[in-house]
Amino acid sequence: MSSTHENITPCYHCGEPCEEELIEYDNKTFCCQGCKMVYEILQENDLCNYYDLQQSPGITLKNRDFKEKFAYLDNEDIQQQLLSYASDTLNKVVFYVPAIHCSSCIWLLEHLDTLRPGIVRSRVNFVRKEVSIDFDPRQISLKTVVELLATVGYEPEINLESHSDNKKHRSQRRLMLQIGLAGFSFGNIMLLSFPEYLGFEGLNPELQRFFSWASLALSLPVVFFSALDYFISAWKGLRQRYMNIDVPIVLGILTLFGRSLYDILTASGPGYLDSLSGLVFFLLIGKWVQSKTYESLSFERNYKSYFPLAVHRLQNGRKEVVQITELQAGDLIEVRNREVIPADAELLSEQANIDYSFVTGEAATVIKSRGEHIYAGGRQIGHPVQLKIVKAVSQSYLTQLWNTDTFEETTRYDSLIDRISKYFTVVVLLIAALTGLWWYLHDPSLLLNAVTAVLIVACPCALSLATPFTLGNAMAILGRHKLYLKHMNVLEKIWYITTVVFDKTGTLTRGSSGHVHFHGRLSADEKILVAAAAAASTHPLSRQIAAELLPAQTLQPTRFHEHEGQGLEAEVSGRIIRLGSAAWTGATPPDNNRQTRVYLSIDDQPRGYFTFGNVYRQHIEQAIATMQKHYRLVVLSGDNEGERANLEKIFPANTPMVFGQEPAGKLAYIRQLQQNGEQVMMFGDGLNDAGALRQADVGIAVAEDVSAFTPASDAILFGGSMPLAGRFLQLARLSRLVIYSAFAISFLYNVIGLSFAVSGRLTPLFAAILMPLSSITVVAFATFAIRGLARKLKL
Amino acid sequence: MSVIVMLIIIGVVVAGGFLAAFFWAVRSGQYDDTVSPSVRMLFDDKKPENKEVDKKENNPEDS
């Protein structure tokens, strides 16, 4: 939407322009009844502080109607799944509320108890966008709680899968404890090693023994608690005959500990316990950084979150609420306005008006009549319809697409670090063996000393820090520009991409605000009439028309009727406006129509039609220009060829363009590319690209609204950031360079360390300086290099 | 010289106390969410008794 809104009053509650309605209340303007209602609720309960903390903090309530939507929450089975604690007097529940976005949100949600008696306590976790609510089930039901949340604009996303992540929570706390302990031991052992650092020769031997033993005692928890996860991971890897990076780390830790134990027991030296605890401390911090980046970006979702969890089943003339997984072929269900059709079904009602925008990204709705087959994933717009389930949920269209063999790829992705570590361990062992052999021949007394020194100093901790810090920083930079990666591995996969495939609708073009053209003639007065009629409808196309016409004055239709699936009829200032299909307005449609059209008649006179063109994203050609240097580009579109000429202006000559592709066709096309040895990246949108996005080596879902992502994708890109995509890929490629350079630095330290170790001259003091120094250099280099490069790319 | 042994023991015990405090803090969930509490402490909680007064104060645009 454009600058035309600047002179429109923003809504006091949600800040959106009041373009369709303007309600004045209490000297404030509201864009819809919903927003005004929230304001009233807050005012009555003395919670207007909400508006002081942040300007227009609310969430728009336009087009929200949930009369029966949450009825399924009265079902006991569902309640049991959702409640984390239940007794007669107190229930606890945690909701994921994607709308939480500012401090006002926290404030309001934590004052729910003043809004409604029965709510005992509510607490927000801002980072996780969760609100945990304790309520008294005798006074308020779960359904009412959810309705209250939805009324004030914080509709929770209820997903029966989402309550299993307690485990993750606990492992995060465990990591904190491990870091704390390692830090404690590291500090204290360093303190005890001070005489050593200062080369204090005249130290009382008894005291020295005491220091050594104290260090040993302090290091035990580091080895057996803080470093435990490395042992487990290395062991698991080895059992699967797989050499992961943790194997050489564990080797290093064990050698350090064993050598120190030996030195202390035989009183032959102070050992390397300070290096050991420092090493573990730095490694754990790297791990923590890594898990922090994941936490803020995790969007692992289940396809079930796209479908309503419960539906109304009609049985023996009664309506009941059942979970979708209980649905069977032959069941009758009722689907109401804006509800998603959960499974492939046959239409029993006279007519249905299905909005497949969920699946295809196309705004136009499809009219279905009695007996027709309706695919899962569409939404009914308008009156409630009755359907007969043809296939159970698990078999329907979308799930089939989801469950194709390609989605269950179990092949383990070898990250760069895994591949290096295979050789690394072998090489280190080889050097150790050669050193051992040499010393055995020359001076066997130094053999043990030299061999353990090699294993200690070769420990790849700097190596293992390079990747998380580089990629973690790159991910954070990309996240700032609204490209959210599922995993760091995605960046590594981008290094090898050779072909980039684009979907058209919603990716290259903007999804909802297409260019609206009127073919015919309208006077300025008539425009106002038509705009008033269109504005009264919630249909996506009507709204586009209303937004396009943008009348100078607002009129209210005196009579309005929307005939589901055909069009609308409105009486404005005594004239009859009809908008809708050709049949509805009495126009004659052309034979080979390639466009989405809405016809208009005024007083039963056909006046022409609206077409909805494709608007390409601004500056999209920048992204294409940057990408064409490095990649082969392909356009795959589900639409007809009407846009070929426009696309050819944006893309370089000879770009393959394939039109009229079904979802399965797109998937097959990408597989074909891959069979020809290409590494494919796909930018797509909508659920019907899910298969193709998943098949692609890197699938990026382009979404206007970040909460509307596709689970099959490797990354979500906010539509508005599409023009930056070229630079995103450049940064991803540069991250490889940074990692390699960091590896080089790390290897350099290893070479220096090894040269001392091999010659048997590695002292504990030297190790204590060298090892943390290498870690710190690598971390600093990785962080500054990637950030500097990003700044150079203007990211 | 044994005074240094005493000092080290005391030092480690004091540090251990802080470590225990850290353990307690992590276990009780204080590190689970580090953003919301920083915002929460800035909220002014008002008592319902002075409702009338507050209303005027809270709607600066009314005045």
In this complex, do B33 and A128 lie within 8 Å of one another by their Cβ atoms? yes
The encoded tokens of residue A219 equal 């290091």
In this complex, do B43 and A184 lie within 8 Å of one another by their Cβ atoms? no
Best mutation target, B3, B4, B58, B61, to test chain A (most A CBs within 10 A): B58
Residues of A with Cβ-Cβ distance to B32 under 8 angstroms? 125, 169, 172-173
Q: Which helix (H) or strand (E) holds A81?
A: helix A76-82
Q: What is the mean pLDDT of residues A773-780?
A: 83
* Other beta carbons within 10 Å of A216: 19
Considering the domain A516-612, what is its CATH architecture? 3-Layer(aba) Sandwich (3.40)
Res. A403: pLDDT tops 60? no
A672 vs A586, residue with greater confidence: A672
The encoded tokens of residue A46 equal 């003395």
How much is the pLDDT for A378?
A: 73
How much is the pLDDT for A317?
A: 67
How much is the pLDDT for A169?
A: 65
Q: What is the mean pLDDT of residues A674-685?
A: 87
SS3 A12: coil
Q: How far apart are the CA of B57 and the nearest CA of chain A, in angstroms?
A: 10
Residues 6+ apart with CB under 8 A from B35: A126, A127
First to last CA, chain B: 75
- Indicate the residue of B11, B23, B48 with minimum beta-carbon distance to A180: B23
Q: How far apart are the CA of A162 and the nearest CA of chain B, in angstroms?
A: 18
Q: What is the mean pLDDT of residues A720-732?
A: 89
User: Most distant CA pair in chain A: distance in Å?
Assistant: 110
Taking the CA atoms of chain A, what radius of gyration do you get in angstroms?
Answer: 32
User: Most distant CA pair in chain B: distance in Å?
Assistant: 75
State pLDDT tens for residues A290-336.
Answer: 677 655 544 333 333 333 446 777 777 666 767 666 677 788 887 76
* Residues linked to residue A499 through DSSP beta bridges, in sequence order: A632, A680
Q: CB of B3 within 8 Å of any CB in chain A?
A: no
Separation between Cα atoms, residue A384 and residue A356, nearest integer Å: 16
Place of tokens 């007097």: A89
Q: Which helix (H) or strand (E) holds A598?
A: strand A597-602
Q: Note whether A727 and A626 are within 8 A (CB).
A: yes
Q: How far apart are the CA of A82 and the nearest CA of chain B, in angstroms?
A: 21
Separation between Cα atoms, residue A12 and residue A50, nearest integer Å: 11
- Looking at CATH, the fold of the domain delimited by A306-393 is given as 2.70.150
Q: What is the mean pLDDT of residues A49-54?
A: 72
Domain definitions of chain B by residue range: 1-26
Per-residue DSSP letter, A498: -
- A131 phi and psi, to 5 degrees? -125, 130
Per residue in A594-633, is it b (16+ CB within 10 Å) or e — as a string? eeebbbbbbeeebbbbbbbebebbeebeebbebbeeebbb
The encoded tokens of residue A543 equal 């709204």
Separation between Cα atoms, residue A14 and residue A30, nearest integer Å: 8
Q: CB of B19 within 8 Å of any CB in chain A?
A: yes
Q: CB of B47 within 8 Å of any CB in chain A?
A: no
User: Which of the four pLDDT bands, split at 50, 70 and 90, describes residue A654?
Assistant: confident
State pLDDT tens for residues B5-45.
Answer: 888 889 999 999 999 999 999 988 888 777 778 877 777 66
Instruction: Name the interface residues of A facing B (CB cutoff 8 Å).
Output: 26-28, 43, 46, 48-49, 52-53, 103, 106-107, 110, 114, 123-128, 169, 172-173, 176-177, 180-181, 184, 187-188, 191-192, 204, 207, 210, 214, 218
Separation between Cα atoms, residue A504 and residue A647, nearest integer Å: 9
User: Which of the four pLDDT bands, split at 50, 70 and 90, describes residue A62?
Assistant: low
Q: Highest mean pLDDT: which of A48-52, A442-446, A632-636?
A: A632-636
In this complex, do A192 and B8 lie within 8 Å of one another by their Cβ atoms? yes
Q: How far apart are the CA of B34 and the nearest CA of chain A, in angstroms?
A: 8
Q: CB of B35 within 8 Å of any CB in chain A?
A: yes
Separation between Cα atoms, residue A363 and residue A358, nearest integer Å: 9
- Indicate the residue of B33, B40, B60 with minimum beta-carbon distance to A110: B40
Dihedral angle, C-alpha A478, A483, A485, A488, nearest 10 °:
-20
State pLDDT tens for residues A201-244.
Answer: 777 788 888 888 999 999 999 999 999 988 998 888 888 777 77
Res. A781: pLDDT tops 80? yes
In this complex, do B43 and A49 lie within 8 Å of one another by their Cβ atoms? yes
Closest chain B residue to the Cα of A210, Cα to Cα: B5
Residues 6+ apart with CB under 8 A from A643: A504, A614, A637
The encoded tokens of residue A505 equal 């609708």
Q: Highest mean pLDDT: which of A313-327, A603-617, A729-743?
A: A729-743
Q: Which helix (H) or strand (E) holds A703?
A: strand A698-703
How much is the pLDDT for A142?
A: 86
How much is the pLDDT for A97?
A: 79
- Report helix angle A447-457 to A764-792, nearest 10: 20
- B52 phi and psi, to 5 degrees? -60, -50
Dihedral sign of CA atoms A140, A142, A143, A148 in order: positive
- Indicate the residue of A176, A184, A187 with minimum beta-carbon distance to B31: A176
Q: Note whether A499 and A679 are within 8 A (CB).
A: yes
Q: A470-511+616-734 — its CATH code?
A: 3.40.50.1000
Q: Note whether A144 and A102 are within 8 A (CB).
A: no
ipTM comes to 0.74
In this complex, do B36 and A48 lie within 8 Å of one another by their Cβ atoms? no
Q: A71-158 — its CATH code?
A: 3.30.70.100
Best mutation target, B43, B49, B54, B57, to test chain A (most A CBs within 10 A): B43
Q: Note whether A783 and A745 are within 8 A (CB).
A: no
HSE at residue A464, side-chain half, CA atoms within 13 A, is 28
Per-residue DSSP letter, A777: H
State pLDDT tens for residues A126-149.
Answer: 777 788 888 888 888 888 888 888
State pLDDT tens for residues A454-486.
Answer: 887 777 777 777 887 888 888 888 877 878 776
Q: CB of B8 within 8 Å of any CB in chain A?
A: yes
Domain definitions of chain A by residue range: 3-41, 71-158, 168-298+413-461+762-777, 306-393, 470-511+616-734, 516-612
Q: How many helices (H) and strands (E) does chain A have?
A: 27, 28
